[in-house]
Amino acid sequence: MRLRLASYNIHAGVGTDKRFEPRRLAAVLRQLDADVIGLQEVVSVGPDGYALLDELAQACAMQAVAGPTMKRGDASYGNALLLRQPPSGVQRLELDYQQFEPRGALSVQLTYDGYEPLTVAVTHLGLRRKERLAQMKRLLSWLPHPPAPLILLGDFNEWLPWAYSLRLLRQQFGPTPFVRTFPSRLPLLPLDRIIARPTGLLQQPVERLLTTESRMASDHLPLTAEIRLPVHQA
């Protein structure tokens, strides 16, 4: 069974032209044509009560699962997943570090008849090296252990291949694709990733969507990948 996945830091819906354009962002999401989309920097509900996440889900005919990391009154902000199929389980993890911006991870389990259950997790790590390292250690201890099929999506805020946080990641996942996604108008840094295990789950190279619309809709470019879910072994 093939599934298409995407990861996208949407910059709260504000494009590189400084305009808040949910319809433009929704158009890019539809171009991804994905079964699962991991989002970062999502305003689930804004201070004015506007529900950006719900609008994006409706525009894509998908179900939204929110993983907020910051809440102020009725407003919330953080990670989210858009799904074509309702999840069979949802978990959330706090990754806060000292006094820095609250961070977290969101995971869902997806169950398809006749196939191995799939865990998909999305995260957005911090801006400082020690912060990312602490968050990576906690994240990896929280994720399901092999050989369970697992997809990890997110903005890791790390571009140096020798960084210790990425070395820890490679110990569990093997080689991790480096695709330049930031800044979207002239992508130089590979901050965003789609990572899978076991080896062979990914069926094609991780790619970025590089179009006129995607260069404008956010300061990051979205990534896409396809996996082949293994048949369940009774």
The set of residues, in sequence order, having a beta carbon less than 8 Å from that of 109 and lying 6+ positions away, is: 87, 88, 89, 90, 117, 118, 119
How much of the chain is helix, strand and coil, in % rounded to 5? 25, 35, 40
**Dihedral in degrees, nearest 10, Cα atoms 197, 199, 202, 204:** 150
- Reply yes or no on whether the pLDDT at 154 is more than 80: yes
Mean pLDDT of 111-137: 95
- By three-state DSSP, how is residue 199 classified? coil
- By three-state DSSP, how is residue 132 classified? helix
Weakest-pLDDT range from 38-47, 175-184, 223-232: 38-47
Mean pLDDT of 126-155: 95
Mean pLDDT of 31-60: 90
- Reply yes or no on whether the pLDDT at 222 is more than 90: yes
- Buried b or exposed e, range 70-84, using 16+ CB within 10 angstroms: eeeeebbbbbbbbbe
- Reply yes or no on whether the pLDDT at 45 is more than 80: no
115 secondary structure, DSSP code: B
Among left, alpha and beta (phi > 0; psi -120 to 50; other), residue 231 is: beta
What angle, rounded to 10 degrees, do the helices at 22-32 and 52-60 form? 40
Mean pLDDT of 76-98: 96
pLDDT top residue among 43 and 183: 183
Give 46's pLDDT tier (boundaries 50, 70, 90): low
pLDDT tens-digit map of 168-209: 999 999 888 899 999 999 999 999 999 999 988 998 889 999
Give 234's pLDDT tier (boundaries 50, 70, 90): low
First-to-last alpha carbon distance for the chain, in angstroms, is 17
230 secondary structure, DSSP code: P
- Reply yes or no on whether the pLDDT at 77 is more than 70: yes
What order do you get walking across the sheet with 118-124 strand by strand? 89-94, 104-110, 118-124, 150-155, 192-197
Task: Give burial (CB, 10 Å; 0-12/13-18/19+) of 44.
Answer: buried
Task: Give burial (CB, 10 Å; 0-12/13-18/19+) of 129.
Answer: middle
